[in-house]
Amino acid sequence: ALLINNKCINCDMCDPECPNQAIYFGQTIYKIDPDKCTECVGHYDSPTCVSVCPIDCIKPDPNKRESLETLAERYLILTQQG
């Protein structure tokens, strides 16, 4: 999963672009729900939130490094539930 760091300026560019609705406004900045983030696996070739963020504050979560298999499994679970 990816992580939004505290440089986020709350521009709201990323939230509507996430195919998994994983991004939400937290207490002070936007956040990513790691249980919904597939790093865009299944949807795009690269994380679309990173592409639209004007200040490059979305990074891999060092505590949530996940394999392609794990991300692909999450994509399947999320799409079946949807």
Question: Using CB under 6 A as the criterion, which residues of the chain lie in contact with ligand SF4 when the complex forms?
Answer: 2, 4, 8-14, 17-18, 20, 22-23, 30, 32, 37-40, 47-49, 52-53, 55, 57-58
Q: How many CB atoms lie within 10 A of CB 32?
A: 25
In whole angstroms, what separates CA 23 from the centre of its chain? 6
Q: Are the beta carbons of 25 and 47 closer than 8 angstroms?
A: no
* Three-state DSSP class for residue 23: strand
Minimum distance between the CB of residue 43 and ligand SF4, rounded to whole angstroms?
Answer: 7
Minimum distance between the CB of residue 61 and ligand SF4, rounded to whole angstroms?
Answer: 10
Minimum distance between the CB of residue 7 and ligand SF4, rounded to whole angstroms?
Answer: 7
Q: Give residue for tokens 């195919």.
A: 19
